Structure 1
Amino acid sequence: MPREFEIRRQVTLPATPAQVWAAITAGTSGWMFPTESDDEAEGYRLLDDHQVLDWTPPERYALRAEQPDGSFNALEWVIEGRAGSTVLRFVHSGMLAEEDWDHEYDGAAKHTDFYLHTLGQYVSHFPGRAATYVAADAPEASLAPDGFTRLLRALGVSEVGDKLEVGLAGEPRTAVVDHLDDWFLGLRTDDALYRVFGRNAWGAPVGVSLHLFSRDANAVSSGKALRGWLDTVYR
Protein backbone atom coordinates (compact mmCIF):
# COMPACT_ATOMS: atom_id res chain seq x y z
CA MET A 1 0.00 0.00 0.00
CA PRO A 2 1.21 3.56 -0.71
CA ARG A 3 2.37 5.65 2.21
CA GLU A 4 2.26 9.43 2.43
CA PHE A 5 5.36 11.64 2.38
CA GLU A 6 6.07 15.34 2.72
CA ILE A 7 9.18 17.33 1.82
CA ARG A 8 9.40 20.89 3.16
CA ARG A 9 12.12 23.33 2.21
CA GLN A 10 12.77 27.05 2.69
CA VAL A 11 15.41 28.94 0.72
CA THR A 12 16.37 32.59 0.42
CA LEU A 13 16.98 33.68 -3.17
CA PRO A 14 18.80 36.80 -4.42
CA ALA A 15 15.92 37.89 -6.61
CA THR A 16 12.62 39.75 -6.53
CA PRO A 17 9.34 37.92 -5.90
CA ALA A 18 8.38 38.59 -9.53
CA GLN A 19 11.58 36.95 -10.78
CA VAL A 20 11.05 33.90 -8.57
CA TRP A 21 7.41 33.65 -9.63
CA ALA A 22 8.40 33.76 -13.31
CA ALA A 23 11.04 31.08 -12.76
CA ILE A 24 8.71 28.58 -11.07
CA THR A 25 5.76 29.15 -13.39
CA ALA A 26 7.20 29.92 -16.83
CA GLY A 27 10.98 29.53 -16.69
CA THR A 28 11.33 25.97 -15.44
CA SER A 29 13.52 24.90 -18.37
CA GLY A 30 16.18 27.25 -16.99
CA TRP A 31 16.70 25.32 -13.75
CA MET A 32 14.61 22.13 -13.60
CA PHE A 33 12.95 20.75 -16.74
CA PRO A 34 10.32 22.10 -19.13
CA THR A 35 6.70 21.88 -18.02
CA GLU A 36 3.71 21.77 -20.33
CA SER A 37 1.38 24.69 -20.96
CA ASP A 38 -2.40 24.28 -20.79
CA ASP A 39 -4.21 26.62 -23.21
CA GLU A 40 -7.29 26.51 -21.00
CA ALA A 41 -5.39 27.57 -17.88
CA GLU A 42 -4.66 31.17 -18.93
CA GLY A 43 -0.96 30.56 -19.36
CA TYR A 44 -0.40 28.54 -16.21
CA ARG A 45 2.58 26.25 -16.43
CA LEU A 46 1.48 22.78 -15.41
CA LEU A 47 3.05 19.44 -14.55
CA ASP A 48 1.38 16.58 -16.41
CA ASP A 49 -2.25 16.32 -15.28
CA HIS A 50 -1.94 18.42 -12.12
CA GLN A 51 -4.83 20.73 -11.32
CA VAL A 52 -4.06 24.32 -10.34
CA LEU A 53 -5.41 24.88 -6.83
CA ASP A 54 -4.03 28.37 -6.28
CA TRP A 55 -2.60 30.92 -8.70
CA THR A 56 -1.91 34.14 -6.78
CA PRO A 57 0.96 36.02 -8.47
CA PRO A 58 3.53 36.50 -7.12
CA GLU A 59 2.71 34.92 -3.76
CA ARG A 60 1.39 31.35 -4.02
CA TYR A 61 1.24 28.60 -6.62
CA ALA A 62 -0.25 25.21 -5.76
CA LEU A 63 -0.88 22.07 -7.83
CA ARG A 64 -2.37 18.67 -7.10
CA ALA A 65 -2.94 15.48 -9.07
CA GLU A 66 -5.30 12.74 -7.88
CA GLN A 67 -4.90 9.15 -9.09
CA PRO A 68 -7.63 6.50 -9.49
CA ASP A 69 -6.03 4.36 -6.77
CA GLY A 70 -6.44 7.15 -4.21
CA SER A 71 -2.83 8.32 -4.29
CA PHE A 72 -1.91 11.94 -5.02
CA ASN A 73 0.94 14.30 -5.77
CA ALA A 74 0.87 17.92 -4.59
CA LEU A 75 3.27 20.86 -4.90
CA GLU A 76 3.12 24.28 -3.30
CA TRP A 77 5.32 27.34 -3.64
CA VAL A 78 4.87 30.30 -1.26
CA ILE A 79 6.86 33.45 -2.04
CA GLU A 80 7.65 36.25 0.40
CA GLY A 81 9.67 39.34 -0.46
CA ARG A 82 12.36 40.51 1.92
CA ALA A 83 14.74 43.45 1.69
CA GLY A 84 16.82 42.67 -1.37
CA SER A 85 15.82 38.99 -1.53
CA THR A 86 12.93 36.54 -1.62
CA VAL A 87 12.07 33.68 0.72
CA LEU A 88 10.62 30.66 -1.07
CA ARG A 89 8.79 27.99 0.90
CA PHE A 90 8.27 24.79 -1.04
CA VAL A 91 6.23 21.73 -0.08
CA HIS A 92 6.05 18.49 -2.05
CA SER A 93 3.67 15.87 -0.69
CA GLY A 94 2.14 12.70 -2.00
CA MET A 95 2.37 8.95 -1.71
CA LEU A 96 5.17 6.45 -2.31
CA ALA A 97 5.19 2.66 -2.40
CA GLU A 98 5.44 1.26 1.13
CA GLU A 99 7.96 -1.45 0.21
CA ASP A 100 10.53 1.07 -1.11
CA TRP A 101 9.43 4.17 0.77
CA ASP A 102 12.76 5.09 2.41
CA HIS A 103 14.72 4.71 -0.84
CA GLU A 104 12.28 6.73 -2.93
CA TYR A 105 11.90 9.42 -0.28
CA ASP A 106 15.66 9.79 -0.01
CA GLY A 107 15.96 10.29 -3.76
CA ALA A 108 13.09 12.78 -3.90
CA ALA A 109 14.41 14.81 -0.97
CA LYS A 110 17.95 15.02 -2.33
CA HIS A 111 16.73 15.94 -5.83
CA THR A 112 14.59 18.69 -4.27
CA ASP A 113 17.63 20.24 -2.61
CA PHE A 114 19.60 20.18 -5.86
CA TYR A 115 16.77 21.65 -7.93
CA LEU A 116 16.34 24.49 -5.43
CA HIS A 117 20.08 25.15 -5.52
CA THR A 118 19.88 25.33 -9.31
CA LEU A 119 16.91 27.69 -9.06
CA GLY A 120 19.16 29.96 -7.00
CA GLN A 121 21.83 29.81 -9.70
CA TYR A 122 19.27 30.63 -12.36
CA VAL A 123 17.78 33.69 -10.67
CA SER A 124 21.25 34.89 -9.65
CA HIS A 125 22.98 34.59 -13.02
CA PHE A 126 20.31 34.20 -15.75
CA PRO A 127 17.11 35.79 -14.42
CA GLY A 128 14.28 35.77 -16.91
CA ARG A 129 16.35 34.31 -19.73
CA ALA A 130 14.84 31.59 -21.89
CA ALA A 131 16.70 28.30 -21.99
CA THR A 132 17.19 25.55 -24.51
CA TYR A 133 16.91 22.36 -22.48
CA VAL A 134 18.84 19.19 -23.31
CA ALA A 135 18.95 16.02 -21.22
CA ALA A 136 20.50 12.59 -21.63
CA ASP A 137 21.06 9.45 -19.60
CA ALA A 138 24.51 7.90 -19.51
CA PRO A 139 25.02 4.33 -20.79
CA GLU A 140 24.09 1.34 -18.66
CA ALA A 141 27.64 1.15 -17.28
CA SER A 142 26.86 4.26 -15.22
CA LEU A 143 24.57 2.13 -13.02
CA ALA A 144 27.68 0.78 -11.29
CA PRO A 145 28.41 2.00 -7.74
CA ASP A 146 31.19 4.23 -9.09
CA GLY A 147 29.10 5.57 -11.97
CA PHE A 148 28.92 9.14 -10.67
CA THR A 149 32.52 9.35 -9.45
CA ARG A 150 33.67 8.01 -12.82
CA LEU A 151 32.15 11.04 -14.50
CA LEU A 152 33.71 13.39 -11.93
CA ARG A 153 37.12 11.89 -12.67
CA ALA A 154 36.59 12.35 -16.41
CA LEU A 155 35.88 16.04 -15.85
CA GLY A 156 38.66 16.52 -13.31
CA VAL A 157 36.33 17.92 -10.66
CA SER A 158 37.53 18.07 -7.07
CA GLU A 159 35.70 20.83 -5.17
CA VAL A 160 33.27 23.74 -5.37
CA GLY A 161 34.89 26.76 -6.97
CA ASP A 162 37.06 24.75 -9.36
CA LYS A 163 37.34 26.14 -12.88
CA LEU A 164 37.70 23.76 -15.80
CA GLU A 165 37.20 23.46 -19.53
CA VAL A 166 34.19 21.32 -20.42
CA GLY A 167 32.66 20.42 -23.78
CA LEU A 168 29.40 18.83 -22.69
CA ALA A 169 27.39 20.86 -25.23
CA GLY A 170 30.02 20.71 -27.96
CA GLU A 171 32.45 23.63 -28.09
CA PRO A 172 34.52 23.78 -24.87
CA ARG A 173 33.54 26.39 -22.30
CA THR A 174 35.14 27.54 -19.07
CA ALA A 175 32.92 26.39 -16.21
CA VAL A 176 32.95 26.90 -12.47
CA VAL A 177 31.78 24.19 -10.08
CA ASP A 178 28.81 25.72 -8.25
CA HIS A 179 27.72 22.52 -6.46
CA LEU A 180 29.31 19.20 -5.56
CA ASP A 181 28.29 16.44 -3.18
CA ASP A 182 28.03 12.64 -3.27
CA TRP A 183 25.07 12.68 -5.67
CA PHE A 184 25.06 15.85 -7.76
CA LEU A 185 27.37 18.16 -9.68
CA GLY A 186 26.58 21.69 -10.85
CA LEU A 187 28.66 23.53 -13.44
CA ARG A 188 28.05 27.11 -14.57
CA THR A 189 29.45 28.83 -17.64
CA ASP A 190 28.78 32.37 -18.84
CA ASP A 191 25.87 31.10 -20.94
CA ALA A 192 24.75 27.79 -19.44
CA LEU A 193 24.06 25.63 -16.42
CA TYR A 194 25.17 21.97 -16.60
CA ARG A 195 23.63 19.59 -14.05
CA VAL A 196 24.81 16.03 -13.34
CA PHE A 197 22.60 13.63 -11.40
CA GLY A 198 24.24 10.62 -9.74
CA ARG A 199 21.06 8.59 -10.00
CA ASN A 200 23.01 5.36 -9.85
CA ALA A 201 22.58 5.81 -6.09
CA TRP A 202 18.88 5.06 -6.66
CA GLY A 203 19.19 2.35 -9.29
CA ALA A 204 19.02 4.51 -12.41
CA PRO A 205 21.62 5.71 -14.94
CA VAL A 206 23.61 8.86 -14.30
CA GLY A 207 21.77 11.77 -15.93
CA VAL A 208 22.94 15.10 -17.32
CA SER A 209 20.88 18.16 -18.19
CA LEU A 210 22.03 21.25 -20.05
CA HIS A 211 20.29 24.60 -19.63
CA LEU A 212 21.61 26.68 -22.53
CA PHE A 213 20.96 30.42 -22.51
CA SER A 214 22.71 31.57 -25.68
CA ARG A 215 20.32 32.62 -28.43
CA ASP A 216 22.00 30.36 -30.98
CA ALA A 217 21.86 27.23 -28.80
CA ASN A 218 20.91 24.14 -30.78
CA ALA A 219 19.23 21.28 -28.91
CA VAL A 220 19.98 18.71 -31.61
CA SER A 221 23.71 19.33 -31.95
CA SER A 222 24.18 19.87 -28.20
CA GLY A 223 22.31 16.65 -27.43
CA LYS A 224 24.43 14.73 -29.90
CA ALA A 225 27.62 16.15 -28.38
CA LEU A 226 26.45 15.31 -24.86
CA ARG A 227 25.55 11.71 -25.71
CA GLY A 228 28.85 11.27 -27.54
CA TRP A 229 30.79 12.52 -24.53
CA LEU A 230 28.90 10.24 -22.16
CA ASP A 231 29.64 7.28 -24.42
CA THR A 232 33.38 8.01 -24.16
CA VAL A 233 33.20 8.24 -20.36
CA TYR A 234 31.45 4.89 -19.95
CA ARG A 235 32.82 2.84 -22.83
Structure 2
Amino acid sequence: MGHNWNVDDEFELDATPEEVWQAIASGPGIDSWFMGVSDVEPGVGGSVTTDFGGFAQRSEITAWEPARHLAYTSEPSPDGRFIAFEYLLEAKDGGTTVMRQVATGFLPGDDWEAEFEAMVTGGLMYTRTLRSYVDHFTGRFGVPVSAMVQHPDFDRAWAGMRADLGLPSETAEGDRVTLTPTGLAPITGVIDYLADGYLGVRANDALYRFYRGFFGPGLGHHVFTDGADRTGLEAEWLAWLDSAVA
Protein backbone atom coordinates (compact mmCIF):
# COMPACT_ATOMS: atom_id res chain seq x y z
CA MET A 1 0.00 0.00 0.00
CA GLY A 2 1.45 3.36 -1.03
CA HIS A 3 1.47 6.71 0.69
CA ASN A 4 0.53 10.24 -0.32
CA TRP A 5 2.87 12.79 1.23
CA ASN A 6 3.24 16.57 1.61
CA VAL A 7 6.10 18.77 2.85
CA ASP A 8 5.43 22.49 3.35
CA ASP A 9 8.13 25.04 4.22
CA GLU A 10 8.40 28.84 4.34
CA PHE A 11 11.46 31.05 4.77
CA GLU A 12 12.90 34.45 3.90
CA LEU A 13 15.60 34.88 1.26
CA ASP A 14 18.10 37.69 0.90
CA ALA A 15 17.14 38.38 -2.73
CA THR A 16 14.36 39.98 -4.73
CA PRO A 17 11.46 37.90 -6.14
CA GLU A 18 12.94 38.38 -9.62
CA GLU A 19 16.28 36.94 -8.46
CA VAL A 20 14.59 34.01 -6.72
CA TRP A 21 12.51 33.37 -9.85
CA GLN A 22 15.68 33.09 -11.92
CA ALA A 23 16.91 30.43 -9.48
CA ILE A 24 13.78 28.27 -9.59
CA ALA A 25 12.41 28.85 -13.11
CA SER A 26 15.44 28.60 -15.43
CA GLY A 27 17.69 25.69 -16.32
CA PRO A 28 20.96 27.40 -15.30
CA GLY A 29 19.32 28.60 -12.06
CA ILE A 30 18.08 25.13 -11.08
CA ASP A 31 21.45 23.61 -12.00
CA SER A 32 23.01 25.95 -9.43
CA TRP A 33 21.35 24.27 -6.44
CA PHE A 34 19.40 21.12 -7.41
CA MET A 35 20.51 17.65 -8.48
CA GLY A 36 21.01 16.69 -12.13
CA VAL A 37 20.90 18.98 -15.15
CA SER A 38 17.64 20.80 -15.89
CA ASP A 39 15.99 22.42 -18.88
CA VAL A 40 12.93 24.68 -18.63
CA GLU A 41 10.32 25.29 -21.30
CA PRO A 42 8.54 28.31 -19.79
CA GLY A 43 4.82 28.90 -19.40
CA VAL A 44 1.77 26.90 -18.39
CA GLY A 45 1.84 23.67 -20.37
CA GLY A 46 5.62 23.93 -20.63
CA SER A 47 7.98 21.69 -18.74
CA VAL A 48 10.87 21.26 -16.34
CA THR A 49 13.00 18.31 -17.46
CA THR A 50 15.83 17.07 -15.26
CA ASP A 51 18.47 14.58 -16.39
CA PHE A 52 19.75 12.59 -13.43
CA GLY A 53 22.41 10.82 -15.47
CA GLY A 54 20.71 8.33 -17.72
CA PHE A 55 17.23 8.96 -16.36
CA ALA A 56 15.27 12.08 -17.36
CA GLN A 57 12.22 13.23 -15.43
CA ARG A 58 9.76 15.53 -17.19
CA SER A 59 7.36 17.66 -15.17
CA GLU A 60 4.53 19.70 -16.64
CA ILE A 61 4.27 23.33 -15.56
CA THR A 62 0.81 24.03 -14.13
CA ALA A 63 1.37 27.57 -12.79
CA TRP A 64 3.65 30.27 -14.25
CA GLU A 65 3.44 33.80 -12.84
CA PRO A 66 6.96 35.26 -13.03
CA ALA A 67 8.34 36.40 -9.67
CA ARG A 68 5.14 35.20 -7.95
CA HIS A 69 4.01 31.60 -8.52
CA LEU A 70 5.50 28.46 -10.07
CA ALA A 71 4.19 24.90 -9.96
CA TYR A 72 5.02 21.72 -11.86
CA THR A 73 4.17 18.02 -11.58
CA SER A 74 6.10 15.01 -12.84
CA GLU A 75 4.55 12.49 -15.17
CA PRO A 76 3.33 9.57 -13.01
CA SER A 77 5.05 6.21 -13.36
CA PRO A 78 3.02 3.02 -13.98
CA ASP A 79 2.90 2.35 -10.20
CA GLY A 80 1.56 5.85 -9.51
CA ARG A 81 4.77 7.45 -8.25
CA PHE A 82 4.99 11.21 -8.84
CA ILE A 83 6.34 14.39 -7.29
CA ALA A 84 5.10 17.97 -7.59
CA PHE A 85 6.63 21.27 -6.52
CA GLU A 86 5.00 24.64 -5.90
CA TYR A 87 6.71 27.94 -5.11
CA LEU A 88 4.92 31.08 -3.89
CA LEU A 89 6.97 34.30 -3.69
CA GLU A 90 6.16 37.47 -1.75
CA ALA A 91 8.28 40.62 -1.89
CA LYS A 92 9.30 42.14 1.46
CA ASP A 93 10.80 45.48 2.44
CA GLY A 94 14.55 45.77 1.91
CA GLY A 95 14.65 43.69 -1.27
CA THR A 96 14.07 40.31 0.38
CA THR A 97 11.56 37.59 -0.47
CA VAL A 98 9.43 35.21 1.56
CA MET A 99 9.12 31.93 -0.30
CA ARG A 100 6.68 29.14 0.45
CA GLN A 101 7.84 25.82 -0.97
CA VAL A 102 5.39 22.92 -1.12
CA ALA A 103 6.33 19.42 -2.27
CA THR A 104 3.74 16.67 -2.68
CA GLY A 105 3.78 13.20 -4.15
CA PHE A 106 3.00 9.52 -3.92
CA LEU A 107 5.29 6.63 -2.97
CA PRO A 108 4.10 3.13 -3.93
CA GLY A 109 4.62 -0.11 -2.01
CA ASP A 110 4.55 -1.18 1.62
CA ASP A 111 8.13 -0.08 2.33
CA TRP A 112 7.58 3.59 1.53
CA GLU A 113 8.52 4.88 5.01
CA ALA A 114 12.30 4.44 4.75
CA GLU A 115 12.35 6.02 1.29
CA PHE A 116 10.15 8.87 2.50
CA GLU A 117 12.46 9.60 5.45
CA ALA A 118 15.52 9.66 3.17
CA MET A 119 13.71 11.79 0.62
CA VAL A 120 12.60 14.34 3.20
CA THR A 121 16.09 14.65 4.68
CA GLY A 122 17.63 14.93 1.22
CA GLY A 123 14.94 17.41 0.25
CA LEU A 124 15.84 19.56 3.22
CA MET A 125 19.45 19.54 2.04
CA TYR A 126 18.44 20.83 -1.38
CA THR A 127 16.14 23.43 0.16
CA ARG A 128 19.11 24.64 2.20
CA THR A 129 21.22 24.57 -0.95
CA LEU A 130 18.66 26.78 -2.69
CA ARG A 131 18.77 29.20 0.23
CA SER A 132 22.58 29.25 0.23
CA TYR A 133 22.65 29.80 -3.52
CA VAL A 134 20.15 32.66 -3.51
CA ASP A 135 21.64 34.31 -0.41
CA HIS A 136 25.31 34.06 -1.48
CA PHE A 137 25.59 33.43 -5.24
CA THR A 138 22.76 35.42 -6.80
CA GLY A 139 23.68 36.50 -10.33
CA ARG A 140 26.08 33.58 -10.82
CA PHE A 141 25.34 30.21 -12.35
CA GLY A 142 26.97 27.02 -11.10
CA VAL A 143 28.13 23.86 -12.81
CA PRO A 144 26.50 20.77 -11.24
CA VAL A 145 28.90 17.96 -10.33
CA SER A 146 27.38 14.60 -9.39
CA ALA A 147 28.70 11.14 -8.52
CA MET A 148 27.22 8.07 -6.84
CA VAL A 149 28.41 4.51 -6.25
CA GLN A 150 26.88 1.25 -5.11
CA HIS A 151 27.93 0.00 -1.68
CA PRO A 152 26.61 -2.85 0.49
CA ASP A 153 26.93 -0.92 3.76
CA PHE A 154 25.80 2.71 3.60
CA ASP A 155 26.82 3.45 7.19
CA ARG A 156 30.36 2.19 6.62
CA ALA A 157 30.55 4.10 3.34
CA TRP A 158 29.46 7.30 5.06
CA ALA A 159 32.02 6.82 7.83
CA GLY A 160 34.70 6.38 5.17
CA MET A 161 33.61 9.55 3.39
CA ARG A 162 33.69 11.58 6.60
CA ALA A 163 37.08 10.19 7.56
CA ASP A 164 38.67 10.93 4.19
CA LEU A 165 37.26 14.46 4.25
CA GLY A 166 38.94 15.00 7.62
CA LEU A 167 35.64 16.11 9.15
CA PRO A 168 35.87 16.48 12.95
CA SER A 169 33.64 14.16 14.96
CA GLU A 170 32.02 17.11 16.73
CA THR A 171 30.59 19.56 14.20
CA ALA A 172 27.58 21.85 13.91
CA GLU A 173 25.95 24.04 11.28
CA GLY A 174 27.79 27.35 11.11
CA ASP A 175 31.18 25.81 11.91
CA ARG A 176 34.08 26.76 9.67
CA VAL A 177 35.89 23.65 8.41
CA THR A 178 38.63 22.60 6.02
CA LEU A 179 37.93 19.38 4.13
CA THR A 180 40.93 17.40 2.89
CA PRO A 181 39.70 14.86 0.30
CA THR A 182 42.53 12.59 -0.82
CA GLY A 183 43.88 13.57 -4.24
CA LEU A 184 41.93 16.83 -4.39
CA ALA A 185 42.58 20.39 -3.24
CA PRO A 186 41.56 21.25 0.34
CA ILE A 187 38.14 22.90 0.72
CA THR A 188 37.62 25.64 3.29
CA GLY A 189 34.11 26.82 4.03
CA VAL A 190 31.15 26.90 6.40
CA ILE A 191 28.86 23.97 7.20
CA ASP A 192 25.45 25.11 5.98
CA TYR A 193 23.65 21.76 6.25
CA LEU A 194 24.28 18.86 8.61
CA ALA A 195 22.05 15.84 9.27
CA ASP A 196 22.50 12.12 9.78
CA GLY A 197 24.18 11.02 6.56
CA TYR A 198 24.23 14.48 4.94
CA LEU A 199 26.83 17.25 4.84
CA GLY A 200 26.74 20.61 3.07
CA VAL A 201 29.67 23.05 2.98
CA ARG A 202 29.53 26.51 1.43
CA ALA A 203 32.87 27.75 0.11
CA ASN A 204 33.68 31.02 -1.65
CA ASP A 205 33.33 29.46 -5.10
CA ALA A 206 31.19 26.35 -4.61
CA LEU A 207 28.46 24.55 -2.71
CA TYR A 208 29.64 21.05 -1.74
CA ARG A 209 27.11 18.32 -0.89
CA PHE A 210 27.85 14.81 0.40
CA TYR A 211 25.27 12.17 1.33
CA ARG A 212 24.97 8.60 2.52
CA GLY A 213 21.86 8.23 0.37
CA PHE A 214 19.02 5.73 0.14
CA PHE A 215 20.27 3.96 -2.99
CA GLY A 216 24.00 4.54 -2.48
CA PRO A 217 26.57 7.07 -1.20
CA GLY A 218 27.14 10.08 -3.40
CA LEU A 219 27.75 13.78 -3.81
CA GLY A 220 26.22 16.71 -5.65
CA HIS A 221 28.30 19.88 -5.86
CA HIS A 222 27.70 23.24 -7.56
CA VAL A 223 30.88 24.98 -8.73
CA PHE A 224 30.86 28.69 -9.56
CA THR A 225 34.40 29.17 -10.91
CA ASP A 226 34.72 30.41 -14.48
CA GLY A 227 35.40 27.65 -16.98
CA ALA A 228 34.60 24.80 -14.59
CA ASP A 229 34.80 21.50 -16.49
CA ARG A 230 31.84 19.40 -15.40
CA THR A 231 33.06 16.20 -17.06
CA GLY A 232 36.54 16.46 -15.58
CA LEU A 233 35.28 17.37 -12.12
CA GLU A 234 32.82 14.48 -12.07
CA ALA A 235 35.58 12.05 -13.03
CA GLU A 236 37.82 13.38 -10.23
CA TRP A 237 35.09 13.23 -7.61
CA LEU A 238 33.91 9.78 -8.70
CA ALA A 239 37.47 8.50 -8.30
CA TRP A 240 37.60 10.05 -4.83
CA LEU A 241 34.23 8.55 -3.88
CA ASP A 242 35.28 5.08 -5.04
CA SER A 243 38.42 5.30 -2.93
CA ALA A 244 36.78 6.83 0.15
CA VAL A 245 34.09 4.14 0.50
CA ALA A 246 36.31 1.17 -0.42
Length-normalised TM-score, structure 1: 0.87
> 2:65 matched to which residue of 1?
56
Deviations 1:92-119 (A, max 9, x none): 1121114022112212211221111111
CA distance 1:169–1:88, shift in 2 (3 Å): farther
> 1:103 matched to which residue of 2?
114
Matched, 1:147 2:179: no
Counterpart CA distance in 1 for 2:181 and 2:44 is 39
Matched, 1:178 2:222: no
Instruction: Please say which of residues 103-112 and 59-68 is displaced more in the overlay.
Output: 59-68
CA distance 1:44–1:130, shift in 2 (3 Å): farther
> 2:98 matched to which residue of 1?
87
What's the RMSD between the two structures over aligned residues? 2.5
Counterpart CA distance in 2 for 1:209 and 1:82 is 31
CA distance 1:68–1:164, shift in 2 (3 Å): closer
Instruction: Please say which of residues 180-189 and 51-60 is displaced more in the overlay.
Output: 180-189
Matched, 1:31 2:40: no
Counterpart CA distance in 1 for 2:32 and 2:17 is 17
> 1:74 matched to which residue of 2?
84
Matched, 1:191 2:202: no
- State the SS of the aligned residue for 1:6: strand
Identical counterparts, % of pairs: 28
CA distance 1:205–1:70, shift in 2 (3 Å): closer
Any conservation in 2 of the 1:131–1:212 contact (CA below 8 Å)? yes
CA distance 1:115–1:86, shift in 2 (3 Å): same
Any conservation in 1 of the 2:4–2:106 contact (CA below 8 Å)? yes
Matched, 1:117 2:119: no
Counterpart CA distance in 2 for 1:68 and 1:42 is 19
Deviations 1:58-97 (A, max 9, x none): 1110112343758343211111122232111111112111
CA distance 1:101–1:231, shift in 2 (3 Å): closer
Pairs aligned (count): 231
Deviations 1:118-177 (A, max 9, x none): 111101211121111110014525x33232232112212232313214458944443332
Match of 2:178 among 156, 164, 186: 164
- State the SS of the aligned residue for 1:163: strand
Counterpart CA distance in 2 for 1:228 and 1:24 is 31
2:115 counterpart letter in structure 1: E
> 2:3 matched to which residue of 1?
3
Q: Which runs of 5+ in 1 are unaligned?
A: none
Task: Report the alpha carbon displacement of residue 216 of structure 1 after superposing the two structures with TM.
Answer: 1.7
CA distance 1:40–1:31, shift in 2 (3 Å): closer
2:38 counterpart letter in structure 1: T
Any conservation in 1 of the 2:69–2:89 contact (CA below 8 Å)? yes
Matched, 1:212 2:223: yes
1:150 counterpart letter in structure 2: G
Q: Which runs of 5+ in 2 are unaligned?
A: 51-56
- State the SS of the aligned residue for 1:110: helix
